[in-house]
Amino acid sequence: MTTGAIADAAQFFRAWLSDPLRVASVIPSSVALAEAITAEISPATAPVIELGAGTGVFTHAIIASGVPEEQLALVELGSDFVRLLQSRFPVARIMQIDATRLKDIEPFGGIPAGAVVSGLPLLSMKPRKVMAILDGAFRHLRPDGAFYQFTYGPRCPVSRVLLDRLGLKATRIGGVLANVPPAAVYRIRRRPDRSARATHASRNGGTGCPLA
C-alpha cells in the first residue's frame, strides 16, 4: 500500500466513524472495483456524473477511461471528502449536495450525460430516497445512458418494484471478489419502450424525461 493509499484509508475510516450511515464502508473501494464499475466507460460516454465520490477511487478510473476531467461532475455530501476532491480534481465540477437533489442541478448546461457512476450506499437508504436519486439521475442521462451501481449485497440494491415503477432494467455486469467485502456491479438502463418514448418526447419539444 502506498503512503497516499494509507492516508486515504485513514481519512475514510475517520469519516465512517463520524457518520457511519452516510459513508457505509470502513475503507475506500479497491482499484479492481473501480475498474469493474467503469469497464463500459469510454471517451464517447462524456460527460459523466459521479455520485458519492469519496476519496476519488472511481473518479481516477473514469478519467483513465478517457473522460476529460472537465467533463466530470462529482456529487458528494461530506465536506471532508469535498475538500479532498477539490484539491485532487481541480477542473471537475464538484457539487456538495445530497444526491436526492440531483434533479435541481444542471452540471453541464443541459448537455445530457452518457453515464452516472454511483458509489452511494443505496442499500442503507429508504426507497423514497433511492427513487429520488434514480429519478434525478435519469433526467440527466441520454436515452441510451446508463447508471452504474455497485453493491455488497447478493442482488441489485434497487428493488424490482422501484425498477418497474421507473421503467428501468438492471443487469449484473461484473463481480469483484478482490474487493473488501466482495462486490457486484449493476448497469441500470431505461427499458427500450421508455427510451423510445423519451426520444419521441424530446423530438416533439417535451422534456425528454420519461420519469417527469
Q: Does 78 bind ligand SAM (CB under 6 A)?
A: yes
Nearer to ligand SAM, 82 or 201 (CB): 82
Distance of alpha carbon 46 from alpha carbon 43, whole angstroms: 6
- 203 dihedral zone (left: phi>0; alpha: psi -120 to 50; beta): alpha
- Please give the distance of CA 204 from its chain centroid, rounded to a whole number: 29
Q: What character string, x for contact with ligand SAM (CB under 6 A) and - otherwise, covers 124-163? A: ----------------------------------------
C-beta separation of 61 from 120 below 8 A: no
Distance of alpha carbon 198 from alpha carbon 192, whole angstroms: 10
Q: Does 107 bind ligand SAM (CB under 6 A)?
A: no
Nearer to ligand SAM, 155 or 200 (CB): 155
The minimum distance between CB 175 and ligand SAM, in angstroms, equals 16
Nearer to ligand SAM, 121 or 206 (CB): 121
Q: Does 23 bind ligand SAM (CB under 6 A)?
A: yes
Question: Which span sits near ligand SAM by CB under 6 A: 23-31, 84-92, 138-146, 188-196?
Answer: 23-31
C-beta separation of 16 from 25 below 8 A: yes
Q: Does 106 bind ligand SAM (CB under 6 A)?
A: no
Nearest in space to 182 (alpha carbons), one of 149, 154, 158, 148: 154
The minimum distance between CB 174 and ligand SAM, in angstroms, equals 15
**How many residues are present in the chain?**
212
The minimum distance between CB 210 and ligand SAM, in angstroms, equals 23
CB count in 10 Å sphere of residue 138: 28
* Cα end-to-end span (Å), the chain: 46
71: its cell numbers: 467533463
Q: Does 120 bind ligand SAM (CB under 6 A)?
A: yes
User: Among residues 5, 11, 121, 163, which is the contact residue for ligand SAM, using CB under 6 A?
Assistant: 121
Residues 6+ apart with CB under 8 A from 201: 207, 208, 209, 210
Nearer to ligand SAM, 46 or 122 (CB): 122
Distance of alpha carbon 13 from alpha carbon 11, whole angstroms: 5
Q: Does 52 bind ligand SAM (CB under 6 A)?
A: yes
Task: Please give the residue ranges that form the binding site for ligand SAM (CB under 6 A).
Answer: 22-25, 28-29, 52-54, 57-58, 75-78, 81, 98-100, 119-121
